[in-house]
Every structure is written in C-alpha cells, then in structure tokens.
Structure 1
Amino acid sequence: MTSPISSYLQSRSLPDTALSSVTKPPESTAAAVPAGEEVTLTSDAQISADLLEAARTASGVDHSAVESLKAQMGAGTYEVSPETLAASILAANTETRS
C-alpha cells in the first residue's frame, strides 16, 4: 500500500530527499506577519506545507495508536526492535523508489 505522502511525492516528481528537509512549522505564524503584509512561500516551503496537509488528511491513521506511542515515548517506555526498525526503513525506502 502506498502512503499518501509517497503518492504526493510521486505525483509531483519530487526527489527522494524531499522529506528530509521537512521541519515542524512554528506553532503560530499569524502574529509574525503584520496586517496588510504579504508572505510568499518558496517552492520548498510550499512542498512542506502540502506534505503536512497530506499527512493531516490521510485516511487510515489510527489516532489512538499514535497517542499511545506518544505516551510511551514521553514516559521512556517505548522499546524499538532493531530488526523491525530496519525492515520498516527498508520497506519505506523501497516504496519511495518504485
């Protein structure tokens, strides 16, 4: 199954490194721009915004599982299986290259 983000990257013919520059935007940018001013996004910023929106609107996200993982990571109780992690990285890499 192709993820919405991978589908988006393929539809835009973006390089595999497009996700590597995606960072979390500031919590609020509304106050950063004075009234009457205009902000123009670079193509990289627009791609980041589009990817973020694709992730937010993707179907099939188990929000309870996400919250559970956040809680485990916050408490320091989340354990990562190196084998599972390696298999997931390999699968994701293979998916983005095909």
Structure 2
Amino acid sequence: MKHLFLTLMLASQLTVPVWATERSITLSVPGMNCPVCPITVRKALEKVDGVKSAEVDYDSMSATVIFDDQVTATEALTKATENVGYPSTVRP
C-alpha cells in the first residue's frame, strides 16, 4: 500500500503542466513597398500556429507579433513572411 501511495505521489509531481508563455516581438519587414503589402504579411503571420495576433505597420516597415512560445518560434515567423515574398528580421 505504501508503494502505491508513493507511486501516485511521484506521478502527480511529474504531470505538473507547463504553462505557455506569450511573447511579443517586432519584426523589421523592409520589403513592403505598397499599402497593400501589410495585409499579405499579417495574413501570413496569422496562419502560423501559436500566433495570437499580428499587427503590421507600413510606415515603420514593421510587424508586431504576439505568440505562444510553446507552440512556435521566431524562426517560423520570419519564415512565414519570407514565404510570401517579404523577408524579415527580428528587431532588437
């Protein structure tokens, strides 16, 4: 009986959930050359799993993305913009 109790206690310790962390990054997207370009960039970013929101600003040539870092990474975000013709980099 003691072994069963110890086993159940250890198992409950191992199944503690890992909470996802929302991150916000700003991407530099210098290739946008018309007012319609931000729509394409935003839609590409929003299709990435884990992205909560994406706001793209034509004037500053940037995109601010809020995402779940347990689901996706910055590399997936920059790859998404590159895949639609707008290579991007993470702003410091």
Give TM class, smaller chain.
under 0.3
Larger CA Rg, structure 1 vs 2:
2
Which structure has more relative contact order (CA 8 Å, sep 6+)? It is 1
* Higher normalized strand content (fraction of residues): 2
* Higher normalized helix content (fraction of residues): 1
